[in-house]
């Protein structure tokens, strides 16, 4: 048995989310948002850590790590858990980070997401983006929406991930799972191929570059429901990030195409609960004629006010979401203040 499995067992038993390993430091676990060393574990020696890392991957993957200093992959402990792994080189030597992937997709109904997010599973086409920082739960949210589609509709769903995280069993839908580096060379190559594979729904794990972004918009404009992620913190910044990916002479056309294809943007962050643990807060943008017009005309600054005025359509700003959590006592005033855009709104309670 690979020696790292002992650390994985500690991660699972501690109800942690991530395992951090680095030469020169004790192994550490992130639980409820905080990273702390595993009690009683000494610092890892570089040579020992490399030996343990080598046990988890095949020859080609290990050679990629040796050649580049980086490796992304998925690893399964049969009957126990799956992990998303990343190998890296750091100042003191080798390093590795493992994210625990739930054995089963958490049903949408159990995630506590705003109800309007569930309606995104009912869309026939459009570009739906789930955004937020690393570790904010974007993949979990998207997996729950894909599962909802799978339970409700007879569709062909193609997922493209790096590495493959959530494996869905066919229910009403038929799913094709593709892993970058194993089944395809890149997100863009897989997405280009997917557009020719009679898909109803395509999930793109990350919109990393211009080609992938352009193909995602093209697919949505062709009548496909396309889901993707970006590391942006708000709906307005998401629109700006997509447009800025295009060369200056193409941005005008990109605005028109995006305005016609955008379905929704869900931005999420994780907040510390007042009584321990974490809870997600969401900014939600739903396509309306006003949203499309603002994007088309380059008036991204209007998006925030459109969201604020769109409560009847299920829209909400991040600060309104934080206010609701604060009012309910789910988070405290200091946490609301730290995560808010309008600090003044939450300043008095956080003092």
Q: Do 113 and 137 belong to one domain? A: yes
**225's tokens:** 């429901």
φ/ψ region of 298 (left if φ > 0, alpha if ψ in -120 to 50, else beta) reads: left
pLDDT at 351: 59
Q: What crossing angle do the helices spanning 187-194 and 210-221 adopt, rounded to 10°?
A: 20
Q: Is residue 345 part of a domain?
A: no
Q: Do 113 and 207 belong to one domain? A: yes
pLDDT at 164: 82
pLDDT at 171: 96
| pTM for the model | 0.85
Q: Is residue 194 part of a domain?
A: yes
Q: What is the CATH number of the domain that holds 52?
A: 3.30.450.90
Query: Which stretches in the chain have pLDDT values below 50?
Result: none
Q: Is residue 327 part of a domain?
A: no
Cα dihedral sign for 317, 321, 327, 331? Answer: negative
Q: Is residue 347 part of a domain?
A: no
Q: Is residue 216 part of a domain?
A: yes
pLDDT at 350: 64
Q: Which of 81, 101, 121 is the last residue of a domain?
A: 101
Q: Which of 69, 101, 133 is the last residue of a domain?
A: 101
Q: Do 73 and 122 belong to one domain? A: no
Q: Which of 84, 101, 118 is the last residue of a domain?
A: 101
Q: Do 253 and 287 belong to one domain? A: yes
Residue-range definition of the domain harbouring residue 149 = 108-316
Q: Do 132 and 96 belong to one domain? A: no
What is the total count of domains within the chain? 2
pLDDT at 338: 94
Q: Do 20 and 94 belong to one domain? A: yes
Q: Do 29 and 177 belong to one domain? A: no
Q: Is residue 337 part of a domain?
A: no
DSSP 232-293: -SSHHHHHHHHHHTS-GGGHHHHHHHHHHHEEEEEEEEEEE-TTSSEEEEEEEEE--HHHHH
Q: Is residue 322 part of a domain?
A: no
Q: Is residue 150 part of a domain?
A: yes
3-state percent helix, strand, coil for the chain, nearest multiple of 5: 40, 25, 30
State the virtual CA torsion across 22, 27, 29, 34 in degrees, nearest 10: -70
Q: Do 94 and 117 belong to one domain? A: no
Q: Do 190 and 137 belong to one domain? A: yes
Q: Do 92 and 116 belong to one domain? A: no
DSSP 278-300: EEEEEEEEE--HHHHHHHHTT-G
Other Cβ atoms closer than 10 A to 241 = 16
Q: Do 125 and 212 belong to one domain? A: yes
| Contact predicate 278/272, CB 8 Å | yes
From CA 243, how far away is CA 87, in angstroms rounded? 32
Closest CA to 160 of 121, 201, 127, 125: 201
Q: Do 138 and 253 belong to one domain? A: yes
pLDDT at 174: 97
């Amino acid at each position: 048995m690979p020696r790292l499995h002992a650390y994985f067992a500690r991660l699972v038993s501690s109800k942690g989310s991530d395992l951090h390993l680095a030469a020169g430091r004790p192994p550490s676990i992130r639980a409820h948002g905080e990273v702390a060393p595993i009690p009683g574990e000494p610092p890892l020696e570089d040579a020992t850590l490399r030996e343990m890392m080598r046990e988890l991957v095949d020859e080609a993957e290990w050679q990629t790590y040796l050649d580049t200093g980086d490796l992304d992959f998925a690893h399964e402990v049969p009957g126990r858990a799956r992990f998303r792994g990343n190998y890296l080189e750091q100042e003191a030597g080798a390093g590795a980070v493992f994210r625990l992937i739930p054995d089963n997709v958490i049903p949408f109904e159990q995630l506590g997401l705003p109800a309007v997010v569930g309606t995104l599973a009912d869309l026939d086409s459009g570009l739906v983006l789930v955004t937020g920082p690393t570790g904010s739960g974007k993949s979990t949210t998207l997996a729950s929406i894909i599962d909802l589609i799978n339970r409700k509709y007879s569709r062909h769903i193609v997922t493209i991930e790096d590495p493959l995280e959530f494996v869905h069993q066919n229910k009403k839908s038929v799913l094709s799972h593709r892993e970058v580096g194993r089944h395809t060379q890149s997100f863009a190559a897989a997405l280009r191929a997917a557009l020719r594979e009679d898909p109803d729904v395509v999930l793109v794990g990350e919109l990393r570059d211009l080609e992938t972004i352009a193909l995602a918009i093209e697919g949505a404009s062709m009548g496909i429901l396309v889901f993707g992620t970006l590391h942006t913190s708000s709906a307005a910044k998401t629109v700006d990030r997509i447009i800025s990916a295009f060369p200056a002479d193409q941005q005008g056309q990109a605005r028109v195409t995006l305005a016609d294809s955008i379905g929704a943007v869900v931005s999420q962050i994780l907040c510390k609960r007042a009584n321990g643990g974490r809870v997600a807060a969401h900014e939600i943008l739903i396509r309306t004629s006003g949203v499309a017009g603002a994007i088309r005309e380059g008036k991204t600054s209007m998006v925030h006010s459109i969201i604020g005025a769109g409560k009847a359509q299920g829209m909400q700003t991040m600060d309104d979401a934080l206010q609701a959590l604060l009012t309910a006592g789910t988070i405290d005033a200091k946490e609301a203040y730290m995560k808010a855009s309008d600090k003044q709104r939450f300043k008095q309670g956080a003092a």
